[in-house]
Homo-oligomer: A and B are copies of this chain.
């Protein structure tokens, strides 16, 4: 295989023949253009040029190997070209957003000043790029489910018991049989590299230091192998499966992660089509406005052409473009059982009825989730679904493990979910924020904060183990708690 000059590559700058450079290697993506889940437009923007900077934060390193035939891997740049690319990258004028982020990064407080998850989020919101923040923080439509997820916790108050010995207090639990130091796990979340160059490995290392468990997304921005490589020996990792519409590809993915040592499969069932995340969709326009100093709105040209193409579906849409939209209880669960012996958890159960069906079909667990409010707006807050299962079908808790995610902000939130019957709770965004702002130490900090808050709450409730947390220790109050604290 020969090596290439920039001029040679530059000739292939159209949909007819489209080459791109990624990390000094040249790829012919002409035939792939129409298959690209994120659309051809974004690739053509880099046709005949170096695309590394756009490509890298949102693709795992093995994406090209998995998706582009070897024949289209055209080989390396020659050394002069590689040098020119590097120079161009070094000389590139930083965008306003990059300058803003760099300045904010220097101003981060030291970690001992971070007292709460809210403190951490506040730092992350300053140091994240506009695109990363838009992707991490966006939720669907009017963000009602997103905010009601957290709001639901504010309706549950404690009935704390006194005169019980609490000097010893152990907040640990197990999840699918694996020990966890606190009843919290890291929920699968895509694209950690958008926030930090080490990406999902930050989470893996933070989990290792604190003995909690990470669930890895199919859409991680590192390869599944790289993430497993970041783990300590015997550190359990779970895998969040987005099932490809093509059963063969889907099976290949499952067998890969089982081989790599992942310990369970969390099948995503609440994200068959992309939610309407307007902040994410609008993000490039906002960025454009920020960089140009011009208002976001495009002025109509004189000839009255006011209709453009339809807006895309944002980052989220691209990630699930090839997923299976026709999964069923009868077909999909047996198929999954047939190709793996790993325990199966359904991620995205939103009703009592489906919780019962899951128990009947015999999966090992369910994660009550509305995808962090990122999919169907006005889907029920998971805590309310948990509360309904507790009231209507408490037998479900005997048949499988029940987890929830969405809206957890404090240790008291975790304790509330456990009182109602949850085995553990998942957090997604807080970990993305933490690793973006501080890398591994940020991840560890979040867990330490939660641990301290959980133990304090347990002791003040008269509980010394997770088994002591009972439904009668929480009450869903019938008034509307105030939202803005005085002072």
Contact = CB atoms under 8 A, between A and B. Distances in A.
Interface of A: 106-113, 115-116, 137, 141-144, 146-148, 151, 154-167, 269-270, 272-276, 278, 281-282, 285, 295-300, 305-311, 325-329, 332, 346, 348-351, 353-354, 357, 370, 375-380, 384, 410, 412, 416, 438, 441, 445, 448, 452-453, 456-457, 459-461, 475, 477-483, 485-487
Contact of A162 (B350, B448, B453, B456): B350
Contacts of A112: 307-311
Contacts of A481: 144, 148, 151
A366 to B, nearest CB: 10
List the 8 shortest-distance A-B pairs measured between CB atoms, nearest first: A112-B308, A165-B326, A109-B297, A376-B460, A143-B485, A167-B325, A162-B269, A111-B307
A147 B486 contact: yes
A483 to B, nearest CB: 7
A307 B108 CA distance: 11
Contact of A110 (B155, B157, B307, B327): B307
A161 B106 contact: no
Given A269-B163, A270-B162, A376-B461, A311 B113 contact: yes
Given A157-B379, A158-B350, A275-B456, 9 more contacts: A107-B297, A112-B308, A158-B376, A159-B353, A160-B379, A161-B350, A162-B348, A163-B354, A276-B453
A157 B142 CA distance: 13
9 contacts: A137-B487, A143-B485, A143-B486, A144-B485, A147-B485, A162-B354, A163-B329, A163-B354, A166-B272
A479 to B, nearest CB: 6
Contacts of A346: 162
A75 to B, nearest CB: 37
Contacts of A452: 276
Contacts of A377: 410, 412
A113 B142 CA distance: 17
A158 B296 CA distance: 34
The secondary structure that dominates the A interface is loop
A298 B351 contact: no
Contact of A380 (B157, B354, B357): B157
Contact of A282 (B110, B115, B453): B115
Contacts of A109: 296-298
A157 B384 CA distance: 11
A476 to B, nearest CB: 9
Nearest to A116: B278
A412 B273 CA distance: 15
A159 B385 CA distance: 9
Contact of A354 (B151, B161, B296): B161
Contact of A353 (B144, B161, B483, B486): B161
A147 B157 CA distance: 13
Query: Among A273, A274, A346, which residue has the most Cβ atoms of chain B within 10 A?
Result: A273
Contacts of A487: 137, 143
Contacts of A116: 141, 278
Contact of A155 (B326, B412, B438, B479): B479
A487 B311 CA distance: 21
B326 A166 contact: yes
Contacts of A155: 479
A480 to B, nearest CB: 5
A111 B308 contact: yes
Contacts of A165: 325-328
Contacts of A107: 295, 297, 299
A34 B112 CA distance: 21
Contacts of A379: 157-158, 160, 460
A184 B310 CA distance: 21
A147 to B, nearest CB: 5
A420 to B, nearest CB: 14
Given A113-B311, A162-B270, A306 B441 contact: yes
